[in-house]
Amino acid sequence: MIKFLLMVNKQGQIRLSKYYEHIDLAKRASLEVDVIKGCLSRKKEECSFVEYKDYKLVYRQYASLFVMVGVSENENELAVYELVHNFVEVLDKYFSRVIMFNLEKVHVILDEMILNGHIVETNKSRILAPLLVLDKMAES
Amino acid sequence: MSPSVRLQEMIRVIRSARTQCEERGVIQRECAAIRAQFRQADNVGRSHNLAKLLYVHMLGYPAHFGQMECVRLIASPRYSEKRVGYLGAMMLLDEKQDASLLITNSIKNDLSHSNQYVQSLALCTLACMGSAEMCRDLAPEIDRLLRTSNSYIKKKAALCAVHIVRKVPELGELFTTAAHSLLSEKNHGVLHGAVVLITELCEQNPESLAQFRKVVPELVHIMKGLVMSGYSPEHNVAGISDPFLQVRILRLLRILGRNNDTASDAMNDLLAQVATNTDSSKTAGSAVLYETVLTIMDIKSESGLRVLAVNILGRFLLNNDRNIRYISMMSLQKIVQTDHNAVQRHRGTIVDCLKDPDASVKRRALELSLALVSAVNIRSMMKELLLFLSSCPPELRAQAASGIFSAAERYAPSQRWHIDTILHVLTTAGADVRDETVPNLIQLITTANELHSYTVHKLYRALVADISQQSLVQVACWCVGEYGDLLLRAECDDTEPVQVTEDDVLDALETVLQSHMSSPATRGFALTATMKLSTRITHNVDRIRSIVSIYGSCIDLELQQRAVEYNALFKKYDHMRYHARRGSKNCPVSSDDAPQSTPAQPHSLDACPTSSSSPEGDLLDLLGGLDLMPGEGCGGDLSSVFSVLLWCPCTVCDSSAQCGLWAYVCFLPCVPLAPSLTVYEKNGVTLRLQCDRQMDTGVSITLSASNSTDGDITQFNLQAAVPKCVQLQMKAPSGDVLPARAAGQLTQAILLKNPNKVGLRMRVRVSYCSQGTNYQDTVQIDSFPSVAWQ
């Protein structure tokens, strides 16, 4: 099960965070700091999986953006790795330019893909369909 | 800043803040504005305000005042507001907050809304933060939604059901039938949800597990369809059709097939097919293969399949992608215990991975290598491991060192190799080894008798080269002290002999003593070694004396004590020193200090524990309850006496100062100052007198009696009288029965104080009962051994 998903920039500022398991606000902050420090300090030759407490972290870097996913022990890390890539591709397809200014739309996309820590849908067109409908509704 | 500024503006402003302080200021202003807005119940900007608040919350600032606003927005009829409201509910609310109860009703209504998007919002929120009561309330609704025809809703409802089952396990039965029927869907999203739901049900409830085993053929069929189908544009990821679903199904198969033969049999073909047909050039394929391997290993598969799985992992090890190498090593580690031989085949690759630049891969490779060490490959593996140790990252050093030690201990082909290996580890990573290594190594060296000269030469050289590794220095000092004569003789046949003079050795020890890098324990070792050398070497005793006396005023209590006692040894008991040193051959090792076996002062072993005339008596008191084997007297074996006293105080003395004390107890009961004198021999009873110890003002002697008749002698009693100027103190006898045929002895110690140094004379009255007859005799002892009154 996916426990949380974070998107951070190179300086370590959080651009998006989504938790699928409830964690107190105070603990959340320290968790984020630890995870970000752990992933950002990795060099290029190191592999994308890090062990942190009882989570496994899978991270990927896209230009200046890091996507980090914390999963439980029994998950297949390679599958999560692919999932991250899928997610970024979907974002890419929808947002033609910089994404971070439309945070609630990103949340909508994320909710379409992952629900309660499990994958719901991985087909890009099906994920984006409701969003496009929403946009049309908003415009009219 | 105008109150209805949009989210994007605010984000832009916050990101452009250059300092933390500035950012906090901006956020505080915004929050104040938002709070004011909320109170106004303004319709237009509410969703924007909440969105801004959520962003602020994501950055870590408190946002609890938005909770009621969420509730209000959820109840609103407009979709955009509902959307933000639900998002807020997911982020700000959890079941511990009271406000979460208020949205139960809204969720209920929205679940039956005509618009599927609204329904999905409600499902999403319920799945995220639904409490147990909410779940119980709404479970029937979810069940109904699971049977609708709308696949968009069905897939979300399935995952919502997963959450409900987790929260309220009893509701699991409600969903089992629905889950069954969902498996026949075509839509992959729904299938995925169904598989996850079944997985959750099986994990929660063993009965469901038994029930769902019937589903295995259906799952196998679905998988076959996925694997064998051609290019499907809908779900294709790098040539594999829907790898996510494949992985999920494989995991479910693993759970169903565990510990169950029939289910496992049904899967065997499928797993073989997946393993051979999946293309692993991209990560997606590797992910599927990895899951397959995990499944094969977990269920009761046939051995051919297991070999196939291990081979796949071996192939992964050679892959260029680091992630895949890491994954394969993790899996190999899990199976190395059960399928040892299969993993051994890939040993070469694993050992190569020790040189990988990634720290996680190195760690896994180290653990695997240590697990693969066996008697056959110990030499080559150790070479690699030692190479690794010299270049490994610091956090792995301790683990590597201890792993090498235990492997060496189990599989060492020869003692010399063992010692060499340990020395090598100490030179490279001496700072990271555990504390027990030093005594263990010392014990190993003592047992390896033929290698003493080789070891001491090697250690001496290491000592001269580098004194920063404490463990190494400690062992080297001990060795030099113990086998210094071998070192000086330079007759080592294994390594080239180097001419080592006494001065060199003393120089080395002195350097250790004076260096600021040496810890107090190390200094202790060095000092003791110096002392021991005083008997091994001939020319530089004065130098040793001066070294030792310097430390008599050292600040460190331990060192000072040792130095003072060694000094005393020099002064008073010079002639004893040789004997004292010689007796340390077979000392067992104690764990808290080196087996110093260094005598401080000679002491009579036969003395009762309450001897008050010397400090060592207090020591024996400290040792408490020591059984001094009365029968031993002067014939006792030195080494066994040593071992008695060396072993028992470990429990009594816990501070290191005290341990220093006990280590100094030397007892040389049996190196007599003069031979024993037979003073009375009659009726089979022999009485012998022996001078044990001389002090400045007196002497202590021991009278021992033995019986050579065939019957026991009872009521044996000794009385003594001395001239007036001599003081007599008689200790308690060891008994009053003399066993027959000299089977045992009786001893009694007598302390004579002779301050005026007159000639010693003594009259002894012996009384005993032998074969029913009482005897009494008086003996005059005029000729004491002359050393007694010097």
Q: What was the pLDDT predicted at B42?
A: 64
Residue in chain B closest to A7 (alpha carbons) equals B58
Contacts of B156 in chain A (CB under 8 A): 115, 120
Average pLDDT over residues B176-195: 86
Q: What was the pLDDT predicted at B2?
A: 35
Among candidates B80, B287, B359 on the partner chain, residue whose Cβ is nearest the Cβ of A76: B287
Q: How many Cβ atoms sit within 10 Å of the Cβ of residue A124? A: 17
Among candidates B79, B163, B326 on the partner chain, residue whose Cβ is nearest the Cβ of A137: B79
Tokens of B123: 């499902």
For domain A2-139, say whether CATH 3.40.50.300 is its number. Answer: no
Is pLDDT of B174 > 80?
yes
Q: Which amino acid is at B543?
A: R
Judged by a CB distance cut-off of 8 A, whether residue A126 touches chain B is yes
Average pLDDT over residues B346-374: 83
Among candidates A50, A119, A130 on the partner chain, residue whose Cβ is nearest the Cβ of B244: A119
Judged by a CB distance cut-off of 8 A, whether residue A120 touches chain B is yes
Which of B57, B86, B92, B128 is best to mutate for the A interface (most A CBs within 10 A)?
Answer: B128
Name which of B653, B583, B586, B580 is nearest B443 in CA terms. B586
Judged by a CB distance cut-off of 8 A, whether residue A122 touches chain B is yes
Tokens of B585: 């051959």
Percent of chain A with pLDDT over 70: 94
Q: How many Cβ atoms sit within 10 Å of the Cβ of residue B525? A: 29
Among candidates B124, B251, B291 on the partner chain, residue whose Cβ is nearest the Cβ of A115: B124
Contacts of B64 in chain A (CB under 8 A): none
Is pLDDT of B437 > 70?
yes
pLDDT band at B597 (very low <50, low <70, confident <90, very high): very low
Q: How close is the nearest chain B Cα to the Cα of A89, in Å?
A: 11
Residue in chain A closest to B291 (alpha carbons) equals A76
pLDDT digits (tens, 9 = 90+) for B723-755: 888 888 888 888 888 887 777 788 888 888 887
B585 and B617 Cβ atoms separated by less than 8 Å: no
User: Between the ranges A4-18, B35-49, B700-714, where is the mean pLDDT highest?
Assistant: A4-18
Average pLDDT over residues B580-591: 42
- Consecutive H or E run containing B371: helix B359-372
Q: What was the pLDDT predicted at B378?
A: 84
Residue in chain A closest to B158 (alpha carbons) equals A120
- Residues whose CB falls within 8 Å of the CB of residue A53, separated by 6 or more in sequence, listed in order: none
A45·B188 Cβ contact <8 A? no
Q: What was the pLDDT predicted at B515?
A: 82
Is pLDDT of A90 > 70?
yes
Judged by a CB distance cut-off of 8 A, whether residue A26 touches chain B is no
Q: How many Cα atoms within 13 Å fall on the side-chain side of residue B178? A: 29
Integer Rg of chain A from CA: 15
B361·A47 Cβ contact <8 A? yes
Quickly list H helices, B437-573. 437-447, 452-465, 470-482, 484-489, 502-514, 520-536, 541-550, 557-572
Judged by a CB distance cut-off of 8 A, whether residue A118 touches chain B is yes
Average pLDDT over residues B165-174: 86
The CA distance from B180 to B194, in Å, is 8
B287·A50 Cβ contact <8 A? no
Contacts of A122 in chain B (CB under 8 A): 188, 235, 237, 242, 244
Name which of B38, B63, B48 is nearest B4 in CA terms. B48
A18 and A25 Cβ atoms separated by less than 8 Å: no
pLDDT digits (tens, 9 = 90+) for B521-545: 888 888 888 888 877 777 777 888 8
- Residues whose CB falls within 8 Å of the CB of residue B73, separated by 6 or more in sequence, listed in order: B46, B47, B50, B81, B82, B84, B85, B88
pLDDT band at B34 (very low <50, low <70, confident <90, very high): confident
B155·A120 Cβ contact <8 A? yes
pLDDT digits (tens, 9 = 90+) for B652-700: 333 333 333 333 333 333 344 456 778 888 888 888 888 777 777 778 8
pLDDT digits (tens, 9 = 90+) for A32-73: 888 888 888 887 777 788 888 888 889 888 888 889 999 988
Integer Rg of chain B from CA: 43
Residue with tokens 């040894």: B569
The model's pTM is 0.64
pLDDT band at B412 (very low <50, low <70, confident <90, very high): confident
- Residues whose CB falls within 8 Å of the CB of residue B787, separated by 6 or more in sequence, listed in order: B673, B674, B691, B694
Among candidates A29, A77, A79 on the partner chain, residue whose Cβ is nearest the Cβ of B243: A79
A100·B11 Cβ contact <8 A? yes
Q: What was the pLDDT predicted at B1?
A: 31
Q: What was the pLDDT predicted at B448?
A: 77
Q: How close is the nearest chain B Cα to the Cα of A91, in Å?
A: 16
Which of A102, A119, A127 is best to mutate for the B interface (most B CBs within 10 A)?
Answer: A119
Tokens of B75: 């109840």
The CA distance from B156 to B136, in Å, is 18
Angle at B248 between CA B317 and CA A128, to 5 degrees: 110
Judged by a CB distance cut-off of 8 A, whether residue A73 touches chain B is no
Contacts of A41 in chain B (CB under 8 A): none
Residue in chain B closest to A43 (alpha carbons) equals B358
Which of B14, B57, B67, B152 is best to mutate for the A interface (most A CBs within 10 A)?
Answer: B152
B79·A134 Cβ contact <8 A? yes
C-alpha B416 chain-centroid distance = 27
Judged by a CB distance cut-off of 8 A, whether residue A49 touches chain B is yes
Name which of B334, B422, B345 is nearest B377 in CA terms. B345
Contacts of B160 in chain A (CB under 8 A): 115-116
Which of A23, A82, A89, A110 is best to mutate for the B interface (most B CBs within 10 A)?
Answer: A82
Judged by a CB distance cut-off of 8 A, whether residue A65 touches chain B is no
Q: What was the pLDDT predicted at B664?
A: 38
Name which of B30, B105, B112, B115 is nearest B80 in CA terms. B115
Judged by a CB distance cut-off of 8 A, whether residue A95 touches chain B is no
B140 or B492: which leads in pLDDT: B140
Contacts of A138 in chain B (CB under 8 A): 80
Q: What was the pLDDT predicted at B665?
A: 38
SS3 B229: coil
Among candidates A47, A115, A138 on the partner chain, residue whose Cβ is nearest the Cβ of B159: A115
pLDDT digits (tens, 9 = 90+) for B324-359: 888 888 888 888 878 788 888 888 888 888 888 777
Name the residue ranges covered by the structural domains of chain A. Answer: 2-139
Burial of B780 (0-12, 13-18, 19+ CB in 10 A): exposed
Q: How close is the nearest chain A Cα to the Cα of B454, in Å?
A: 44
A20 and A1 Cβ atoms separated by less than 8 Å: yes
A116·B189 Cβ contact <8 A? no
Q: What was the pLDDT predicted at B785?
A: 62
B287·A78 Cβ contact <8 A? yes
pLDDT digits (tens, 9 = 90+) for B476-494: 888 888 887 777 776 655 6
B324·A78 Cβ contact <8 A? yes
pLDDT band at A99 (very low <50, low <70, confident <90, very high): low
A138·B156 Cβ contact <8 A? no
B126 or B7: which leads in pLDDT: B126
Q: What was the pLDDT predicted at B630?
A: 34
